[in-house]
Amino acid sequence: GFTCGIVGLPNVGKSTLFNALTATQAAEAANYPFCTIEPNVGRVSVPDPRLDVLAKIAGSGKIIPTQLEFVDIAGLVKGASKGEGLGNQFLGNIRQVDAIVHVLRCFEGEVTHVEGSVDPIRDAEIVETELMLADLESLEKRVDAAAKKAKGGDKEAKALVDAATPALEVLRAGKPARTAKVAKELETVFNQLQLLTSKPVLYVCNVDENAAAEGNAYSAKVAAKAKTEGAETVVISAAIEAEVAQLEPAEKQEFLASLGLTEPGLARVIRAGYKLLDLITFFTVGPKEARAWTVHRGARAPEAAGVIHTDFERGFIRAETIAYDDYVACNGEQGAKEKGLMRAEGKEYVVKDGDIFHFRFNV
């Protein structure tokens, strides 16, 4: 699975957001309920209106959305990289995730702030500094050791040094490792370094209830910061999300509309996380079920087949493929076939977002 780690200083609304995510899932997903793997880990369905369209055309009995994993990573405080608070455990948890959802407090309110005032830019910098310090320390150790081996002619060690050097330079200049320019042929080695600050980041601005639709001055500052970093921002009110999560579907739309919203903020967080991870969706559609599946952009057909079952990948022969738009325009598989819009694709085929597949394979 693909995992987003929710991070941020204490009392910014991480747990409120996580609990709203889980409560929504428990309420909505009858077929594929939210599942709590550990107390702080949960899988959420990725909202995708295309699934409803496909299920209607095919008369599918069930709709099964694809999923994304969220982890609530508590315990970051100033000094975490030096082992303060839950420091080391916290950093270890972040190393495991594919992307970071960084929650920033943009609401005033009565709630105590660990730093004494509301300032999301300062908070973001505190968190990022801890992550950069942790990266710097772990990289320096590894590069020192590898440099010695590289002198002795060890090629792997040399590659590690070459991949890590640009990251060390930017980290020493106080910038995250994701800003490092790494040569194409060293990208795999670079990714294996599992640096905390090379992971993609989504800023979630947690604003007061009255600012949920438009954001406020704090979230505007975060958006400006994100823009300079090529990062994304989502504005939500975790307090509203917690309330919405408890409502029946009909009440939900009414409540959201009264706040000037068309959908829960959570849907935007989930979609932004999906985009952040550079994931795409393909479908399998039949009378039994219409189902969405996830692969990384750039994946080839056998890899997509393998997401469904390892046997499909091992014995892969070909994929029969219809693009989503063609499927809808032809009112389903039969129509698409008649128009010659069902293609036979081989092992090298690169999956496109929205592809509808049948896989042919040897057992």
User: Rule CB under 6 A: which residues touch ligand GDP?
Assistant: 8, 10-16, 107, 109, 111, 206, 208, 237-239
Find out whether 14 is annotated in a ligand binding site.
yes
CB of 259 to ligand GDP, least distance (A): 13
Q: Which one, 258 or 362, has the nearer CB to ligand GDP?
A: 258
Find out whether 11 is annotated in a ligand binding site.
yes
Q: Which one, 3 or 15, has the nearer CB to ligand GDP?
A: 15
Alpha-carbon gap, residue 303 to 115, rounded angstroms: 47
- H or E element, residue 313: helix 310-314
Find out whether 88 is annotated in a ligand binding site.
no
Find out whether 24 is annotated in a ligand binding site.
no
Q: What is the token pair recorded at 98?
A: 């594919």
Q: What is the token pair recorded at 172?
A: 């020493």
Alpha-carbon gap, residue 302 to 282, rounded angstroms: 13
Alpha-carbon gap, residue 277 to 281, rounded angstroms: 12
Q: Which one, 77 or 323, has the nearer CB to ligand GDP?
A: 77
Find out whether 16 is annotated in a ligand binding site.
yes
Find out whether 12 is annotated in a ligand binding site.
yes
The length of the chain, given as a count of residues: 363
Scanning the structure block, which residue is given the tokens 């099964």?
64
CB of 107 to ligand GDP, least distance (A): 4
- H or E element, residue 49: helix 49-58
Q: Which one, 25 or 237, has the nearer CB to ligand GDP?
A: 237
Identify the burial level of 283 via C-beta atoms within 10 angstroms of its C-beta, where 0-12 means exposed, 13-18 middle and 19 or more buried.
Answer: buried
CB of 80 to ligand GDP, least distance (A): 14
CB of 178 to ligand GDP, least distance (A): 24
Query: What are the φ/ψ torsions at residue 353 (nearest 5 degrees)?
Result: -60, 130
Report the C-alpha dihedral over residues 31, 294, 235, 76, rounded to 10 degrees: 100
DSSP letter (8 states) at residue 80: G
Alpha-carbon gap, residue 259 to 253, rounded angstroms: 10
Q: Which one, 246 or 334, has the nearer CB to ligand GDP?
A: 246
CB of 262 to ligand GDP, least distance (A): 19
CB of 147 to ligand GDP, least distance (A): 40
Q: Which one, 13 or 273, has the nearer CB to ligand GDP?
A: 13
Residues that constitute the known binding site = 11-16
Residues that constitute the known binding site for ATP = 11-16
